[in-house]
Each structure stands twice: as C-alpha cells, then as structure tokens.
Amino acid sequence: MKRLLFFLCIAAPFGQAESNDKPTLCQGNYHSEAEAVAQLKRMAATHSNLAEWKTRAAAVRQQFLTGAKLDPLPKRTPLNPLIKNKRRYDGYTVESAAFEARPGFFVYGNLYRPLGHKGKRPGVLCPHGHYRGPEGGRQRPDQQHRCATLARMGAVVFSYDMIGFGDSKHLGWDHNHSQALTLQTWSSIRAVDFLETLPQVDSKRIGVTGCSGGGTQTFLLTMVDERVTVSVPVVMVSANFFGGCNCESGMPIHKTPKLETNNAEFAALAAPRPLKLISVGGDWTKNTPEVEYPFIRSIYKYYGAEAKAENTHFADEGHGYQASKRQAMYPFMVKHLGLDAGGVLDTKSGTFDESRNTIEMVDTMRTFDTLAEMPKRALKPGAAVPMR
C-alpha cells in the first residue's frame, strides 16, 4: 500500500547548468536530503519581509501555472453538473456526481452531504492518491471514512477521481495521459466551482485534504486558488521528494533557468491560511518536523500567523491516510471550518467516531457504468483535451 516510488531526474543533475536554457523536470528523489536543506536556505535568502515574500510567492505561482500549461487559466465553461442516485445513511447522504471541467471532459465523484445541519455549510474537497487496488482511488474505505465523518460534522464533501482512476479508469481513461498534471489541477479548480454552485455551501469556508498524490493536489490547488481557506496535505510535503508520477512532476513546474523551487515552498504559498502538515517516519516526509515545517512556519511568521501552521508527525508510521492521520486532521477542520463535532467526537477518549459510517461498494459509487450512458458530447477516452 505504500507508494514509495523513486525516479531518476530528467535533464541535468541538481546544481549543474541547464543546457540550451531548457527547464528541468524534478521528479522523485531529485536531490538528496542535504541538497534539499541547502536549497531551502537559498530560497529563504530571497526574502526578509512580507513584501519580498509576496514578490517571491507570485513568481513561484506564475512558474507553476506556466509550466503546467495553465497560463492563462482556461475559460470557465459550463459545468453541466449531474447529481443522481442519492443514498441516505446515518447523519449524511451520498450521491454520485459528475461535471465537465472542460467541454466533454468529465470529472467523476461522490457528493457527501450532512443531515440535520441548518444554514450554509463548509465545503471540503477530497482528492485521492495513487493506490490502485480493487478499491483504489476515491473508493478506498479510508477515503470514504473521512468523507462520511466530515459530512456527519456538517461539511459538504466532494470526493473525486484523478484521471485514470475510479470511473475515469472504468470508462477508459489512462492515468498516463500526457495532460495529467494540467487536467487534474484544472479539475480541482473546477471542483471548487462545483461546490460553489451548491446553495448549501458557504464559499468562504472551503477546505481540501488528500494524501500522497492527493496531498500533491491539495497543496497545488491551495497554491493557485485563494478560495481554499483550509489545507491539510498528508504524507506528501517534502523538500527533497518531488512526486513520483507525471501528474505531480512531469511538467517544468519546479526548476527553470530563472527560478528553482520545491514542494515545501509550494505548500508555503498557503500562508496565511490554516495549513496542517501530517507526516510520518516511514516515507519522504520523515524530516518534516526539522526541515519543511520550520521553513513553512518562517513564512507564516511574516503574517503574524504562525499559529495557523501545524504539523502532526507519526515517527513510527508509514505512508497513507490511515485512522491515526484522519484523527489528526478532523480537529483542525473542526476548528478552522467551524464544523460541529457533537455526536462524533468522544470527549473522553478524544477520538472521532467513524463506526457509524457506511462503506459503499464500488458499483454503488459509480456515476456512469458505460460510455453509452454518458452525454453524447463526452470526449473519447484518451483524447487530447482542448484547454483554450
């Protein structure tokens, strides 16, 4: 279950000049832990106050958007949302849902809504990681647990497929699609748009949390979309590991002749919004308490917001969004999104009760069983998706 993937760097090794001024793809363990520490020091030296950091942050964000082929951002075309097959459970409902991130390109997922909570509710996005087992992606029990528990506490939660996972894979799309990073980031932006179309959702309270590849989507979305107000990337923020999949690092987003950055700095662009890093001793986040977290807190200090950046570290645990990590995430979301933990939090033990959640079967969670059920305008699986 561990997604411990290690890739060689594409192009010049760290510290060498780029040939022909071409940008470098920084993938997997692109450089060593010591080199990561040195890189963070170089990046920290580019600013000494809030104004200088804002200049740096704008350049980092621009480099990502340019490298991901999202500059300018595509036109926000009609979402044409489809929501169907409501299931009612203990304290929440689940519906199958889909929308068009681009004309003919659909994002599939499940929409969890609270029962018994009045007024506008926070929205939470739950992107998933790369685990591919028979119940991979958003269909994993651990993902269903966090979505259901957040919904029982009053959040409207959208759990959605990365390209080539879940319904996307079922209908013929491949995760190795050449536009994976572009499409997934744009799909996450449009997922915020989708939440905002729901009358029940308070657009000023939007959270996002995911682990592994979903952790990457969490900090990338937070970096480029200021509508995200609370961010919890799990077991992914590392200064020396850049993501082992093309959907995370297969485009020139980290290093060009003009600017070098890494995922720790990407995550820092959440400042001053609440950010919680969850890390473990058994993967590339093993150094978070001593390396990435202090670096990120130094950015929050410019805003006088150090208290909004947190880290929970599980030194003896491995990669994933297991129950311990969910228990670390829930109180942060409760605090910063104004969720209602009553009836979910056991005040004696301090744990959030997940026993009332219903884990659905894969077939129940589907939005479309076959391509024939989809709107005729749907793109053929694997097609290039026009972004302009």
Query: What CATH number should be reported for the domain holding residue 213?
Result: 3.40.50.1820
- Contact between residue 95 and residue 84 where contact means Cβ atoms under 8 Å apart: yes
- Contact between residue 29 and residue 281 where contact means Cβ atoms under 8 Å apart: no
Query: Does 372 fall in a domain?
Result: no
Looking at residue 11, what is its pLDDT?
36
Torsion sign (Cα): 272, 217, 3, 256: negative
Query: Does 385 fall in a domain?
Result: no
Query: Does 305 fall in a domain?
Result: yes
Query: Does 59 fall in a domain?
Result: no
Mean pLDDT per 10-residue interval, the chain, length 388 residues: 37 40 86 97 98 98 98 97 98 98 98 95 97 83 97 98 95 96 98 98 98 98 98 98 95 95 98 98 98 98 98 98 98 98 95 98 95 96 96
d(CA 138, CA 368): 15
Q: Which amino acid is at 282?
A: G
Q: pLDDT tens digits, residue range 207-232?
A: 999 999 999 999 999 999 999 999 99
Q: pLDDT tens digits, residue range 350-371?
A: 999 999 999 999 999 999 999 9
Query: Does 206 fall in a domain?
Result: yes
Q: Containing domain of residue 226, as a range?
A: 82-239+264-350
Long-range CB contacts (within 8 A, 24+) of 70-78: 70/182, 70/185, 70/186, 70/224, 70/387, 73/186, 73/189, 74/102, 74/186, 74/387, 74/388, 75/388, 76/190, 76/193, 77/102, 77/103
Looking at residue 134, what is its pLDDT?
65
Query: Does 360 fall in a domain?
Result: no
Looking at residue 83, what is its pLDDT?
98
Contacts of residue 177, Cβ cutoff 8 Å, sequence gap at least 6: 163, 164, 183, 382
Query: Does 252 fall in a domain?
Result: no
Looking at 135-294, which runs of residues are DSSP E strands?
156-160, 201-211, 230-234, 275-280
Query: Does 126 fall in a domain?
Result: yes
Looking at residue 18, what is its pLDDT?
44
Count up the domains in the chain and report the number: 1
Looking at residue 71, what is its pLDDT?
97
